[in-house]
């Protein structure tokens, strides 16, 4: 079984300051982990992914995430927030060892990122 916990439902930061969105996961196998972003009234866009290669993953728009197996965490960071980063962010785990055709994608409930001018 797999699960994802996004530790904050809302995060508010000032423009130009660092962003930290926290995600913990649970998986019975070696997971693949993803962050997706959803801007208002839009679809979901893949920000970055971890698939058992480098533990520090770089994504689009300056975002990064670090896979820490000992802490079962995959936190998303960005050094300097921009107004265009305001959106909903989803942490997602894929338990590829579970079998079946769905890949067992499980979504967190989302973190709403607010950027203050």
Give the binding site for another protein (CB under 8 A).
Answer: 32, 34, 36, 42-46, 49, 51, 90, 94, 96, 100-103, 105, 107-110
Nearer to another protein, 17 or 28 (CB): 28
CA dihedral (10, 57, 55, 98) positive or negative: positive
Shortest separation between residue 88's beta carbon and another protein, angstroms: 9
Q: Which is nearer to another protein, 83 or 105 (CB)?
A: 105
* Burial annotation 5-29 (CB, 10 A radius, 16+ → b, else e): ebeeeebebeeeeebebbbbbebee
31 close to 49: Cβ distance less than 8 angstroms? no
Residue 15 or 44: which CB sits closer to another protein?
Answer: 44
């Amino acid at each position: 079984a797999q699960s994802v916990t996004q530790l904050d439902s809302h995060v508010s930061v000032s423009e130009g300051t660092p962003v930290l969105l926290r995600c913990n996961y649970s998986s019975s196998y070696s997971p693949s982990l993803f962050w997706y972003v959803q801007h208002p009234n839009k679809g979901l866009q893949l920000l970055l992914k971890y698939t058992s290669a480098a533990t520090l993953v770089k994504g689009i728009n300056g975002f990064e995430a670090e896979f820490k197996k000992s802490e079962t965490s995959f936190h998303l960071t960005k050094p300097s927030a921009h107004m265009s980063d305001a959106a909903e962010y989803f942490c997602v785990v894929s338990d590829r060892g579970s079998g079946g055709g769905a890949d067992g994608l499980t979504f967190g409930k989302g973190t709403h990122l607010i950027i203050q001018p």
